[in-house]
Amino acid sequence: MHRTIRDRPLVGMTETRSSLLIAVRDRADVVAWREFDALYRPLILAYAQKQGLGHADAHDVAQEVFVKLTRELGNFRLDRRTGRFRTWLYRVTANARCDLARRQYRRAEAEAEWSDPRHDSEALWMALYRQRVLEYVLGRVRPQTNPRTWACFERHLLRSRPASEVAAELGLSVNSVYTNASRVLGRVRELCREYCEELSDDPTGLPE
């Protein structure tokens, strides 16, 4: 019987978001910090650049955020009743952006720039957060998925191509395309929900 997803476990994917936050409280946990950096640094850079920063300044903001994280994550407590990590990280990043503006310009100019509507943009952060989590999860799921199974998912769901076309290209039945794509989507959604801390809606934004 054709296996749609390989039987071996997903390497490095057993950590849920909560346990990753616990792991990085230990500054010596190099593996956890590497994963944490790979997930969140691109998000911080994308947000800073969307806010109008150049490449170098965006990297300065990201570095400042990570310096603060190494100091404060040890005291952070994940409590969904009082707040989520993504919101706390947004505030740290926004403050770092504001601090950079104040260092670069006179105070009045910095405050005028900060009043730009682009900078009051938690909605932008949330959209970028979802996008980054999806990119990260796709990058982790793909190497552990049978290539033909992944092709069903990528071509039919990510590229929105008709299942009949995908089936003809891959030499599969239309039902197999639906089945394979759905199984990968289920795994992607499961992992996205772990990283997105119980978002009420579908964190992937992908079709059924």
pLDDT digits (tens, 9 = 90+) for 62-121: 999 999 888 887 766 655 555 678 888 898 998 898 888 777 765 555 555 555 545 557
**Mean pLDDT, rounded, for 167-174:** 96
d(CA 49, CA 59): 9
Model pLDDT, residue 16: 42
pLDDT of 51 higher than 60: yes
Helices (H), the chain: 17-23, 30-50, 55-72, 85-104, 107-114, 122-141, 147-153, 163-170, 174-195
Contact call for residues 174 and 119 (beta carbons, < 8 A)? no
**1 vs 101, higher pLDDT:** 101
- For 179, the 3-state DSSP assignment is helix
Specify the pLDDT at position 79. Answer: 59
Residue 166 makes CB contacts below 8 A (sequence gap 6+) with 151, 152, 155, 156, 172, 177
pLDDT confidence tier of residue 137, bands split at 50, 70 and 90:
very high
Report how far residue 153's alpha carbon sits from residue 29's, in angstroms, rounded to the nearest whole number: 34
Is pLDDT of 145 > 80?
yes
Query: What average pLDDT score do residues 183-200 get?
Result: 78
Give pLDDT, residue 3: 40
The Cα 24–Cα 19 span in angstroms is 9
Residue 41 is predicted with a pLDDT of 95
Domain at 14-120, CATH class: mainly alpha
Please, where in the chain does CATH 1.10.1740.10 lie? Answer: 14-120
pLDDT band at 25 (very low <50, low <70, confident <90, very high): confident
Assign 207 a pLDDT band (cuts: 50, 70, 90).
Answer: low
The model's pTM is: 0.69
What is the pLDDT averaged over residues 116-137? 79
As a whole-number percent, the residues of the chain with pLDDT over 70 amount to 73
Q: Quick one: average pLDDT of 1-13?
A: 35
- Which carries the bigger pLDDT value, residue 73 or residue 3? 73
Q: How far is CA 192 from CA 15, 93, 127, 203, in A?
A: 12, 22, 14, 6
Mean pLDDT, the chain, rounded, equals 79
Q: What is the pLDDT of residue 180?
A: 96
